[in-house]
Structure 1
Amino acid sequence: MNIPSWHAEHWMRLQARRQRDALPHALLLCGPRGLGKRDFLRRFVRGLLCQQPRDGDACGACRSCLLFDAGTHPDVVSLSYGLRKDGVQRSEIVVDQIRDLSARLATASQFGGWQVASIDPADAMNAAAANALLKTLEEPATRTMLILVADAPWRMPATIRSRCQRIDFQLPSHDASLAWLQEMGVRDAPAALAAAAGNPGLARIWAEQGALAQRQEVRKDLAALASGRGDAMEMGKRWLDSALEQRLWFAAQAVADEMRARAATQAGPLSSALDSEALAAWYDAANRTREALRGPLRGDLLLLELLGRWR
Structure 2
Amino acid sequence: MTAPPWHAEHWERLQARRRRDALPHALLLCGPAGLGKRDFLRRFVQGLLCQRPHDGEACGQCRSCLLFAAGTHPDYVALGYGLRKDGAQRSEIVVDQIRELSARLAMASQFGGWQVVAIDPADAMNAAAANALLKTLEEPTPQTLLLLVADAPWRLPQTIRSRCQRIEFHLPARGQALAWLQAQGVAEAAAALDAAGGNPGLARDWAGQGALARRQEVRKDLAALAAGRGEPLEVARRWLDGEPEQRLWFAAQAAADEARARAAGAAPPLASQLDGEALDAWFAAANRTRDALRGPLRGDLLLLELLSRWR
TM-score interval for Structure 1 and Structure 2 normalised by the shorter chain: over 0.9
Deviations 1:43-74 (A, max 9, x none): 00000000000100000000000011111111
Query: One-letter code of the match for 1:117?
Result: V
1:298–1:88 Cα change, 3 Å: farther
| 1:85 CA drift (Å) | 2.5
* Aligned match of 2:54: 54
1:91 alignment partner, SS class: coil
Residue in 2 that maps onto 1:286: 286
Q: Which residue of 2 aligns with 1:256?
A: 256
AA of the residue aligned to 1:167 = I
Please state how far the C-alpha of 1:84 moved relative to its aligned partner. 2.2
- Which AA in structure 1 matches 2:48? L
Offset from partner CA, 1:215-234 (integer Å, 9 cap, x none): 11111111111112112122
Tell me the CA shift for residue 264 of structure 1: 1.6
Q: What are the residue-to-residue correspondences of 1:127-138 with 2, within 5 Å?
A: 127-138=127-138
Distance 2:240 2:85 in 1: 28
- 1:68 is aligned to 68
Aligned positions of 1:72-87 closer than 5 A:
72-87=72-87
Per the alignment, residue 195 of structure 1 pairs with: 195
Cα distance between partner residues in 2 of 1:142 and 1:294: 39
What residue in structure 2 maps to residue 308 of structure 1? 308
Could you say which residue in structure 2 is the equivalent of 1:8? 8
Deviations 1:165-201 (A, max 9, x none): 1001111111111111111111010101111111111
AA matched with 2:201: G
After TM superposition, the score normalised by the length of structure 1 is 0.97
**Cα distance in 1 between the residues matched to 2:251 and 2:218:** 6
Equivalent in the alignment of 2:182 = 182
Give the CA deviation at 1:160: 0.2
Residue 43 (structure 2) aligns with: 43
Counterpart mapping for 1:78-117 below 5 A: 78-117=78-117
Q: Give 1:273's aligned residue.
A: 273
Query: Which secondary structure state, in structure 2, belongs to the residue aligned with residue 209 of structure 1?
Result: coil
Q: Distance in 2 between matches of 1:145 and 1:229?
A: 57
TM-score, normalised to structure 2, is 0.97
The number of residue pairs the alignment matches comes to 311
Aligned to 1:123: 123
The letter of the residue matching 1:170 is H
Segment drifting more, 103-112 vs 162-171: 103-112
Tell me how far apart the structure 1 counterparts of residues 216 and 106 of structure 2 sit (CA, whole Å): 53
Counterpart AA for 1:9: E
* Partner amino acid, structure 1, of 2:199: N
Q: Could you tell me how far apart the structure 2 residues matched to 1:299 and 1:134 are?
A: 36
Q: CA deviation at 1:86?
A: 2.7
Q: Give the 3-state SS of the residue equivalent to 1:234 in structure 2.
A: helix
Aligned position for 1:143: 143
Counterpart-to-counterpart distance in 2, 1:107 and 1:242: 47
Ranges in structure 2 where 5+ consecutive residues have no aligned partner: none
Check if 1:28 corresponds to 2:64.
no
Letter of the 1:288 partner, please give it.
R
Q: Any idea what the Cα deviations from partners look like across 1:121-143, whole Å, max 9, x if unmatched?
A: 11111111111110110111111
Distance 2:241 2:101 in 1: 36
Paired with 1:90 and 1:243, the residues of 2 have a C-alpha distance of 22
- What's the CA shift for 1:93? 1.2
Q: Note the C-alpha offset of 1:283.
A: 0.6
Query: What residue number does 1:247 align with?
Result: 247
Partner of 1:231: 231
Other-structure match for 1:153? 153
Q: 1:83 and 1:90 mapped to 2: Cα distance?
A: 5
Distance 2:284 2:13 in 1: 38
Give the Cα–Cα distance (whole angstroms) in 1 for the partners of residues 159 and 38 of structure 2: 23
Give the aligned residue type for 1:178: L
